[in-house]
């Protein structure tokens, strides 16, 4: 596997600093910067392709993209963060993409969902992983990135819970009401790290202005907790599990619990993203990528111990500690990654309430599509 070393992490620190300056205005209390720019927003339209009638009716064996030729059969994937293990990396190691006749290359680390969306918008990557918030925020300023496979719904208290909010074990933070004036480290602004934090703070009547948020790559979260530079970090498995088990930190809450502790169902939060241009030119490639990712996710959940051996290989290729593989937990993709309006509507409504979007400015169909999913039976 292609190594992703310390140079990428240094570049990431510079990138998240720039992202902070860019996003603080658009994600702030009134969100006026994004709202004003939203006057020029356009919907993400997938360019038309020749779609046979048989495919629209779900006839077995039909190819809805039969008119598309000369595909690249290749995709450049940008890692969201070095704090996660991506199914893409495992699929590469297992040869699942090759089995589908596609080649996927990990080209680097974006440094969060917002930067992933920016990399794809700029044409520097073809696919990546990002939750709905940065996708919607991009659309508010004229972006057109689309989510083509869901991956943020298979969370539970019994397994993978998404991101973890962990606090120093020597501190006195027991709930959101204890966070006023505290310092919180996260990998970037503009994605679930930030929006989950804001949701959690709101339970105690607090806003992000009541805390000090600093940007720290997840690979350094253990260090900043131990040195008491921060009171809380937002990170994920396997890093979060390791620092909890070794006593550096204590579990406070998780993505899953923040959005379900009141009895609500967990909202679909996004998944794998691409540009409409890439998708329209490479529909069969995307279908192969989706098939490989679903196969990978089923395999890791059926074979977690063997999967951890591959995770160790992935971590070593990144120049991270392969021993972290012991703490890795597989996430699951529900319903073959098919997306629905519910999750998209939840996040669109959130941005309308935050003043970033006008009512009706962005529709669910603007930010996601199931058309490339081989398990999709609709038109």
Which pLDDT does position 63 carry in this prediction? 84
Average pLDDT over residues 110-128: 94
Residue 197 and residue 184 in contact, taking contact as beta carbons nearer than 8 Å: yes
In a domain, 357, yes or no: yes
When the pLDDT of each residue in the chain is averaged and rounded to a whole number, the result is 84
Do 123 and 11 share a domain, yes or no?
Answer: yes
Q: Quick one: the chain helix, strand, coil %, rounded to 5?
A: 45, 15, 40
Give the domain CATH number at 252: 3.40.190.10
In a domain, 376, yes or no: no
CA angle 154/157/158 to nearest 5° reads: 85
Strand 212-215 and strand 270-274: the pairing is unpaired
Q: Which of 59, 248, 87 is nearest to 168 (CA)?
A: 248
Q: Where is average pLDDT lowest: 22-26, 119-123, 155-159, 215-219?
A: 22-26
Q: Peptide bond preceding 238: is omega within 30 degrees of 0, i.e. cis?
A: yes
In a domain, 73, yes or no: yes
Residues in the chain: 379
Do 100 and 211 share a domain, yes or no?
Answer: no
Tens digits of residue pLDDT in 81-93 = 898 899 999 999 9
Do 251 and 330 share a domain, yes or no?
Answer: no
CA dihedral 45, 80, 129, 229 (to 10 degrees): -100
| H or E element that contains 232 | strand 232-235
Do 54 and 145 share a domain, yes or no?
Answer: yes
Q: What total number of domains does the chain contain? A: 2
| H or E element that contains 18 | helix 6-26
Q: Which of 260, 293, 311 is the last residue of a domain?
A: 260
Do 275 and 129 share a domain, yes or no?
Answer: yes
**Structure confidence at residue 158 as a pLDDT band (50, 70, 90):** low
Do 148 and 172 share a domain, yes or no?
Answer: no
Do 198 and 319 share a domain, yes or no?
Answer: no
In a domain, 1, yes or no: no
Give residue 200's domain range: 164-260
Do 31 and 135 share a domain, yes or no?
Answer: yes
> Residue 209: which residues within 8 A CB-CB, separation 6 or more?
29
| H or E element that contains 291 | helix 283-302
Average pLDDT over residues 287-307: 96
Do 173 and 320 share a domain, yes or no?
Answer: no
Which pLDDT does position 190 carry in this prediction? 86
Rounded distance, CA 324 to CA 143, Å? 36
Do 208 and 232 share a domain, yes or no?
Answer: yes
Do 186 and 275 share a domain, yes or no?
Answer: no
Which pLDDT does position 153 carry in this prediction? 58
Rounded distance, CA 177 to CA 201, Å? 7
In a domain, 198, yes or no: yes
* Residue the block writes with tokens 């606090």: 167
Do 43 and 133 share a domain, yes or no?
Answer: yes
pTM of the model: 0.81
Choose from 149-153, 177-181, 328-332 the range with maximum mean pLDDT: 177-181
Q: Which of 260, 290, 312 is the last residue of a domain?
A: 260
> Residue 182: which residues within 8 A CB-CB, separation 6 or more?
173, 211, 212, 231, 232
More confident residue, 190 or 95: 95
Q: Which of 260, 280, 303 is the last residue of a domain?
A: 260
What b-and-e string marks burial along 238-277, b requiring 16 or more CB atoms within 10 Å of the CB? bbbbbbbeeebbeebbbbbbbbbeeeeebbbbbbbbbbbe
Which pLDDT does position 247 carry in this prediction? 92
**Structure confidence at residue 49 as a pLDDT band (50, 70, 90):** very low
Residue 120 and residue 276 in contact, taking contact as beta carbons nearer than 8 Å: no
In a domain, 25, yes or no: yes
Average pLDDT over residues 103-107: 97
In a domain, 379, yes or no: no
Token readout for 292 is: 């490989």
In a domain, 100, yes or no: yes
């Amino acid at each position: 596997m292609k190594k992703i070393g310390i140079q990428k992490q240094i570049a990431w620190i510079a990138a998240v600093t720039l992202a902070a300056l860019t996003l603080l205005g658009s994600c702030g209390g009134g969100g006026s910067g994004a709202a004003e720019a939203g006057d020029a927003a356009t919907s993400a339209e997938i360019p038309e392709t020749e779609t046979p009638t048989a495919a629209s009716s779900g006839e077995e064996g039909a190819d809805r993209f039969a008119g598309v030729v000369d595909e690249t059969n290749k995709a450049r994937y940008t890692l969201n963060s070095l704090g996660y293990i991506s199914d893409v990396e495992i699929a590469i190691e297992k040869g699942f993409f090759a089995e589908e006749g596609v080649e996927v290359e990990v080209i680097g680390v974006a440094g969060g969902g917002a930067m992933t969306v920016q990399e794809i918008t700029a044409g520097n990557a073809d696919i990546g992983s990002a939750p709905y918030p940065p996708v919607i925020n991009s659309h508010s300023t004229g972006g057109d990135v689309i989510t083509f496979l869901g991956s943020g719904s298979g969370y539970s208290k019994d397994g993978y819970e998404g991101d973890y909010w962990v606090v120093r074990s020597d501190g006195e933070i027991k709930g959101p009401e204890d966070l006023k004036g505290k310092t919180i480290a996260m990998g970037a602004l503009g994605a679930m790290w930030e929006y989950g934090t804001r949701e959690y703070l709101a339970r105690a009547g607090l806003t992000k202005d009541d805390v000090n948020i600093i940007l720290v790559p997840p690979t350094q979260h253990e260090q900043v907790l131990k040195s008491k530079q921060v009171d809380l970090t937002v990170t994920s498995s396997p890093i979060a599990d390791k620092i909890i088990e070794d006593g550096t930190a204590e579990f406070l809450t998780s993505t899953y619990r923040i959005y379900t502790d009141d009895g609500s169902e967990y909202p679909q939060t996004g998944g794998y993203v691409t540009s409409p241009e890439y998708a329209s030119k490479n529909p069969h490639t995307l279908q192969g990528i989706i098939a490989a990712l679903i196969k990978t996710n089923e395999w890791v959940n059926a074979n977690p111990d063997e999967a951890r051996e591959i995770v160790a290989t992935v971590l070593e290729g990144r120049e991270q500690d392969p021993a972290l593989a012991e703490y890795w937990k597989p996430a699951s993709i529900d319903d073959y990654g098919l997306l629905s309006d519910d999750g998209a509507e939840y996040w669109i409504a959130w941005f309308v309430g935050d003043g970033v979007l006008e009512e009706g400015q962005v529709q669910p169909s603007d930010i996601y599509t199931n058309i490339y999913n081989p398990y999709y039976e609709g038109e």
